[in-house]
């Protein structure tokens, strides 16, 4: 099952980045293999949810013999059940009746609004200010960590069908971003409690090195000593590993990473892998080797998704493979309550079982992974287990991160419920009326 990692680094020829977007499904040669009806369904959904795929993904990551069950096919190509049947029918009808581009766009906007585009209060809450001005491209939810969304990184090399940030990729009105390196730097300068900067997107690794350098290199100045860690969230190891090998500025990118490390920062590359199949190509492995050679640590995180990776063996293999390639398993997430959730959601009890069954198969080095974790309004809530206490079956939960740091690592209990898929479905156990954090959280939410 496993391939051997070659000792001699292979040679790679420069690759042109060829990408296809939602009106270009017909141009993708590989899709000529799928039945016509399915292709139409894909086009309907691609009008609503973001769609973008590049040649590397469909030529080298997908096993077309297994389509539609291939996990990478599910990761990037839209499926009919990803949107509500009524939404599907409205869009399909409009398309069959020859709706104009404008009509399709307007209907799409409407349907998207019904899909919870901004889960966990992403827009209203967590917006920091500098000198009284709100910074739309930043979020500061947990004391130690600031999230930064550079405006040039507001897309990805390909799009995941389950993306929780999907609203950013469609329609300007929903977008949140920042192009202001200056306000990032000023904010960090004024907030000495911040130890971690998390650069996210979209995917910041779609940016040219020159831009990334403008944001990151100034942080090596002594006035940012408190910012110990720079995290970069990216799915480029899956979608475009050539970024680190043959892109025109890939050498400079690796040099920038090395410079940050040598200046005393801990740089953590937060890789997003959903399935072991993403790590099997030689080019991905070479990209991992090159990033690690700069002194950057790679940590891995991903949501658990029905129809894609709801399988303990796949997770165990993925974590083991990550350790073997020198990466650190970090988080397993619960699929968020947004976008194509209806297609991907797995009940919490089942998510926990899969986590447990995978965790039991791996050695301690892979048990650095935490989860399954819900990134909800009040914080990151981990499902620690299912147990029975005095005859009542309960979920055991804890905060890994809390809007109030004092909530962290404080166990709490919810009634066991096989239908629950998210924190807001859970009710306190033992006849309690509220969870211990609820009043305080309600107060925080009302303050915005």
Ligand X SMILES: *Cc1c(COP(=O)(O)O)cnc(C)c1O
Residues that bind ligand X (CB under 6 A): 139, 141-142, 145, 147, 198, 375, 380, 400-401
Nearer to ligand SF4, 57 or 227 (CB): 57
Output the 3-class SS for the chain: CCCCCCCCCCCCCCCCCCEEEHHHHHHCHHHHHCCHHHHHHHHHHHCCCCCEEEHHHHHHHCCCCCCCCCHHHHHHCCCHHHCCHHHHHHHHHHHHCCCCHHHHHHHHHHHHHCCCCCHHHCCCCCCCEECCEECCCEEEEECCEEEECEHHHCCCCCCCCCCCCHHHHCCHHHCCCECCHHHHHHHHHHCCCCCEEEECCCCHHHCCHHHHHHHHHHHHCHHHCCCCEEEEEECHHHHCHHHHCCCCCHHHHHHHHHHHHHCCCEEEEEEECCCHHHHCCHHHHHHHHHHHHCCCEEEEEEEECCCCCCCHHHHHHHHHHHHHCCCEEEEEEECCCCCCHHHHCCCHHHHHHHHHHHHCCCCHHHCCCEEEEEECCCEEEEEEEEEEECCEEEEEEEEEEECCHHHECCCEEEECCCCCCCHHHCCECCCCCCCCCHHHHHHHHHHC
Site string for ligand SF4, 188-227 (x = CB under 6 A): -------------xxx------------------------
Supply the minimum distance, in Å, between the C-beta of residue 156 and ligand SF4.
Answer: 3
Residue 336 near ligand SF4 by CB under 6 A: no
78 binds ligand SF4 (CB under 6 A): no
Residue 159 binds what, of ligand X, ligand SF4, none (CB under 5 to 8 Å, by partner type)? ligand SF4
Site residues (CB under 6 A) for ligand SF4, limited to 129-148: none
Contact between 345 and ligand SF4 by CB under 6 A: the answer reads: no
For ligand SF4, the closer of residues 49 and 146 by Cβ is: 49
- Of 159, 315, 331, 344, the residue at the interface with ligand SF4 (CB under 6 A) is 159
Instruction: State the binding partner of 160 from ligand SF4, ligand X, none, CB within 5 to 8 A by kind.
Output: ligand SF4
- Indicate the residue among 71 and 119 with the shorter CB distance to ligand X: 119
- Report the residue number, 334 or 426, with the smaller CB distance to ligand SF4: 334
In angstroms, what is the minimal distance from the CB of 336 to ligand SF4?
10
Near ligand SF4 in 241-300, by CB under 6 A:
272
What minimum distance in Å lies between the beta carbon of 384 and ligand SF4? Answer: 25
Residues that bind ligand SF4 (CB under 6 A): 156, 159-160, 163, 165, 201-203, 235, 272
């Amino acid at each position: 099952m496993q391939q051997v990692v070659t000792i001699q680094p292979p040679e790679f020829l420069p690759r042109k980045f060829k990408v296809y977007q939602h009106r270009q499904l017909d141009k993708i040669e590989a899709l000529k293999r799928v039945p016509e009806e399915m292709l139409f369904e894909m086009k309907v959904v691609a009008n609503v949810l973001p769609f973008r795929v590049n040649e590397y993904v469909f030529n080298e990551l997908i096993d077309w013999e297994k389509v539609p069950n291939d996990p990478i096919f599910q990761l990037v190509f839209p499926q009919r059940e990803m949107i509500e049947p009524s939404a599907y029918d409205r869009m399909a009808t409009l398309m069959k009746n020859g709706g104009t581009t404008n009509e399709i766009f307007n209907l799409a906007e409407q349907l998207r609004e019904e899909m919870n585009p901004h889960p966990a209060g992403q827009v209203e809450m967590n917006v920091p200010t500098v000198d009284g001005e709100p910074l739309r491209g930043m979020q500061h939810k947990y004391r130690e960590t600031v999230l930064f969304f550079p405006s040039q990184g507001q897309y990805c090399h390909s799009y995941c069908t389950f993306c929780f940030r999907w609203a950013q990729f469609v329609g300007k009105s929903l977008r949140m971003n920042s192009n202001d390196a200056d306000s990032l730097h000023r904010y960090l300068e004024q907030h000495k409690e911040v130890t971690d900067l998390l650069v996210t997107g979209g995917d910041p690794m779609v940016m040219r090195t020159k831009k990334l350098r403008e944001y990151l290199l100034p942080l090596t100045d002594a006035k940012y000593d408190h910012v110990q860690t720079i995290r970069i969230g990216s799915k480029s190891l899956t979608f475009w590993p050539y970024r680190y090998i043959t892109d025109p500025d890939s050498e400079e990118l690796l040099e920038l990473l090395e410079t940050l490390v040598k200046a005393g920062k801990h740089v953590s590359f937060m890789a997003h892998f959903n399935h072991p199949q993403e790590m099997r190509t030689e080019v991905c492995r070479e990209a991992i080797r090159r990033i690690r050679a700069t002194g950057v640590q790679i940590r891995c995180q991903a949501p658990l998704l029905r129809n894609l990776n709801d399988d303990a063996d796949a997770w165990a293999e993925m974590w083991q493979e990550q350790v073997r390639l020198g990466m650190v398993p970090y988080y397993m997430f619960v699929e968020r309550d947004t976008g194509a959730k209806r297609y991907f959601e797995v009940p919490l009890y089942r998510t926990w079982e899969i986590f447990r069954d995978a965790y039991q198969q791996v050695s301690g080095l892979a048990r650095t992974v935490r989860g399954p974790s819900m990134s909800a309004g009040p914080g990151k809530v981990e499902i620690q287990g299912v147990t029975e206490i005095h005859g009542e079956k309960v979920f055991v939960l804890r905060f890994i991160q809390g809007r109030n740091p004092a909530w962290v690592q404080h166990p709490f209990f919810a009634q066991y419920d096989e239908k629950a898929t998210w924190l807001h479905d859970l009710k306190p156990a033992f006849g309690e009326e509220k969870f211990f954090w609820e009043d305080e959280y309600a107060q925080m939410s009302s303050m915005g």
